[in-house]
Structure 1
Amino acid sequence: MNDLGLGTQYPIIQAPMNWVTDAKLVAAVSNAGGLGVLGTNAGQREVTPNPKQVEARMTAEIQKTKALTSRPFGINILTPGDGRALATSPYTIAMLKAAFAEGLRHFVVVGQAHQETFDLIKQHHGMVIFRPLTPSVQEAQLAEQLGADIIVATGHDEGGVLPNREAGTFTVVPEFVDAVSVPVFAAGGINDHRAVKAVQALGAVGVYVGTRFLATEEAPVADNVKQLIVDTPSQATVMVSGNQRAIATPQAQVYAETYAETHDTSASNRQIGRDGGLRESMLLGHLDHGIITVNNGIGTIKQIQSVHEVIESFFE
């Protein structure tokens, strides 16, 4: 077991990707020695606008995960932005209620450092693993002051919603390591053991991995999408907005062309959302809707493997 307070065999945290995590994936990560994390909409296939349904659905997914693993796992919490009170985020409150009621202790908190959210988690004896959406030394130091136990340094190499700052993982990680005294995990473009060793050389004590887990047997990702990730070279990706990268499917190329003309990230993201976003494409496999978001090094992902095989290969 590592000594970071995670209770895991290896210092690896599975990124809580929206729509494409579920009990099966999360339990597989935890059983293989990492920290599995339930993302927002974990285990779901349909959107709900009802916070009470969000709480009930997450409670059920937590219970499913408990039935599959006796090891620690976590949950994703999105903080309110712009200094707003927690009461303004009913979905975040719903997620917290579900986690507290089920006794979870690991919270991957994403967004801005938020005193109220951190304090509430600590009151329930939880561990705060904080990942600022846009990494900065100031935000990392503030998070440490507010009680974060682990801080994730995310480079622009990542998949998902990209940082506004176009700094790579190799830039952000040593900056964070030098700026804070709590453990730093590295995120962004980490697909194999070489990347793990590289970020450890920069001072990171662990890794936070999303894209590589998409191409695993246990991931709730459509089979055609898993195969597409394996078959796609790194250069075959496009920027579909100012903060989203995707595999260059014909539909993604349409978004990319529109964004290249308008440079309007908000409008582009709204259109992608209206077309189904990650749910339609990555979860349901409808490549003519939404996007397949990935890190910028997918060319190193050569095969679909089990979660256990992936994690073992990271620390060989």
Structure 2
Amino acid sequence: MHFRYLGRSGFKISEITYGNWLTHGSQIENDIATACVRAALEVGISTFDTADVYANTAAETVLGAALKGERRESLEILTKVFGPTGPKGHNDVGLSRKHILESIDGSLSRLQTDYVDLYQAHRFDYETPLEETMQAFADIVRQGKALYIGVSEWTEEQLRAGAALAKQLNFQLISNQPEYSALWRVIEDRIVPTSQELGISQIVWSPVAQGVLSGKYLPGAPLPEGSRATDERGGAGAVKRFLSDDVLTRVQNLAPIARELDLTLAQLAIAWVLQNDNVATAIIGASRPEQVVENVKASGVTIPTELMSRIDEVLGGIVERDPVRTSERSPAAREA
């Protein structure tokens, strides 16, 4: 396993992170979830990403139980705050001081730890003054409940404003967690240059484009039984945008490039995002331990420049690059 610094800090994380969105507490049984976490630990993954909103807090509980007994100092535990949790009342959502301070205590209890290494604003909150949000994060850092602060799916303007306030409050904003894959490159034009300037790294989710870049979805063929694309409660909506025959045909045309590198298509997809110097880690999920073992082989892979160019040629115009798509990720009004 290779490790990278997160942002302009001395904090290192594994360049493959195990994430439990859509799986723990919902799609898979707890014993399989624990087996996946054990597999991650065995192959050298030390960084684990979750969120209180995943399975309405159940994902944090499952992860905390699975990591129990591990040396805490050898782990990097990441979680997030924003989405509606609990009974989803009027203060059970957003980035208000009340919700943040109550949420961190809930997360620590469920994760069975005294602190998280990185606490992330899961989205931008248009209904709470940014000053209030950043002051709450500063207080959590000073209390020792979180060592570092990050965000997820913030625009370049939001990153600049957040980083400026963090500096005034004497803590660092060191990370952003956006979607990023060879098919979804909306961060490249604005987010990445801004982040490099500010000392912020990317913790990227969905590097395999919801499984589409694994090649398991074939053009003109029925959707594989039990796949994410068939689960209306567990991510089918996110996959549909990639399921056109044009996209699926081009993904299949990446297979010769993967073979040249002795990689599977999924490994190629993960290795591809790690070629970006601003990416600190790629989050992988799993419903079986063997998926973890296979995908971690993308760590340390260097894709030659000529093959990166060939990937671009194969994918062509199907790649989404519009930076405006980032601003669509944060709701203008809270759900609750």
Preserved CA contact (<8 Å) 1:16 1:40: no
1:311 aligned to which of 266, 282, 296: 296
Residue 49 of structure 2 is aligned to residue 37 of structure 1: yes
Aligned residues: 222
In structure 2, the partner of 1:232 is: 217
CA distance in 2, matches of 1:33, 1:59: 19
In structure 2, the partner of 1:95 is: 107
In structure 2, the partner of 1:137 is: 157
Q: Match of 2:265, SS?
A: coil
CA distance in 1, matches of 2:145, 2:71: 21
Q: Match of 1:231, SS?
A: coil
Cα 1:140–1:12 change in 2 (3 A) is farther
Runs ≥4 residues deviating over 6 A: none
Determine which structure has greater relative contact order: mean sequence separation of CA pairs < 8 Å that are 6+ residues apart, divided by chain length.
2
How does 1:1-316 map onto structure 2 within 5 Å?
2-4=4-6, 5-8=10-13, 10-15=14-19, 17-20=21-24, 22-31=33-42, 32-40=44-52, 54=57, 58-59=60-61, 61-67=63-69, 71-79=74-82, 84-87=96-99, 93-99=105-111, 102-109=113-120, 110-112=122-124, 114-115=133-134, 116-124=136-144, 126-143=146-163, 145-146=165-166, 147-152=171-176, 154=178, 168-180=186-198, 182-185=199-202, 207-212=203-208, 230-232=215-217, 282=228, 287=231, 291-292=235-236, 293-294=238-239, 299=251, 302=265, 306-316=291-301
Q: Match of 1:169, SS?
A: coil
Preserved CA contact (<8 Å) 2:174 2:200: yes
Preserved CA contact (<8 Å) 2:82 2:95: no
CA distance in 2, matches of 1:20, 1:290: 11
In structure 2, the partner of 1:196 is: none
CA distance in 1, matches of 2:192, 2:21: 25
Q: CA deviation at 1:78?
A: 1.4
Cα 1:65–1:230 change in 2 (3 A) is farther
CA distance in 2, matches of 1:26, 1:172: 34
Preserved CA contact (<8 Å) 1:107 1:126: yes
Larger Cα Rg: Structure 1 or Structure 2? 2
Q: CA deviation at 1:93?
A: 4.5
Amino acid at match of 2:299: F
CA distance in 2, matches of 1:171, 1:138: 15
Q: CA deviation at 1:62?
A: 0.8
Q: CA deviation at 1:98?
A: 3.5
Q: Which moved more, 1:293-302 or 1:119-128?
A: 293-302
Cα 1:213–1:140 change in 2 (3 A) is same
Preserved CA contact (<8 Å) 1:76 1:108: yes
CA distance in 1, matches of 2:40, 2:209: 9
Q: Match of 2:68, SS?
A: helix
Cα 1:18–1:86 change in 2 (3 A) is farther
Preserved CA contact (<8 Å) 1:129 1:148: yes
Preserved CA contact (<8 Å) 2:208 2:214: no
CA distance in 2, matches of 1:27, 1:62: 12
Q: CA deviation at 1:313?
A: 1.9
Amino acid at match of 1:315: G
CA distance in 1, matches of 2:40, 2:190: 26
Preserved CA contact (<8 Å) 1:14 1:36: yes
Which runs of 5 or more residues in structure 1 are unaligned?
49-53, 160-165, 186-206, 216-225, 237-247, 251-279
Amino acid at match of 1:107: L
Which runs of 5 or more residues in structure 2 are unaligned?
26-32, 84-92, 125-129, 255-263, 268-289, 302-336
Q: Match of 2:140, SS?
A: helix
Cα 1:83–1:168 change in 2 (3 A) is same
Cα 1:26–1:7 change in 2 (3 A) is farther
Amino acid at match of 1:36: F
CA distance in 1, matches of 2:294, 2:63: 24
> Quick one: percent identity of the two aligned structures?
9
Q: CA deviation at 1:311?
A: 2.7
CA distance in 1, matches of 2:176, 2:77: 15
